[in-house]
Amino acid sequence: MSDPLDTVFAALADPTRRAILTMLLEDDMAVTDVAEPFSISLAAISKHLMILTRAGLIAQEKRGRVKWCKLQPDAMRGASIWMQGFGQFEPVHLEAFERFLAAELPDNPDK
């Protein structure tokens, strides 16, 4: 996808990726910790993380032998601005976004 907005919305379209973003709202996490609550392979989680990274929603970095993931909240700015153009959406704030995700996501995201 060439349009960054398309890439962000495509990344947000998957419930597993939204659950990962919700987890990263709390703090940076090691990839293995991100994978723990899901009943899918580490390779599958890595693919989800790569999609989130390409969309600019997270950053990944190596710290020693461990790969860490960090939320990049500014990546939501373009999507927020686009939604505001419709006049029915408030600006996305991290706390409001977290409440939205908590309401939208099932308790067990891997179902």
How confident is the prediction along the chain (111 residues), in pLDDT tens digits per residue?
A: 568 889 999 999 999 999 999 999 999 999 999 999 999 999 999 999 999 999 999 999 999 999 999 999 888 888 888 877 776 545 557 777 778 778 877 665 554
Query: Could you tell me the CATH number of the domain that includes residue 47?
Result: 1.10.10.10
* Domain count for the chain: 1
Q: How far apart are CA 101 and CA 21, in angstroms?
A: 9
Report the chain's terminal Cα–Cα distance, integer Å. Answer: 28
Supply the range of the domain harboring residue 30: 4-72
**86: in domain:** no
What is this structure's pTM?
Answer: 0.73
Q: How far apart are CA 84 and CA 70, in angstroms?
A: 26
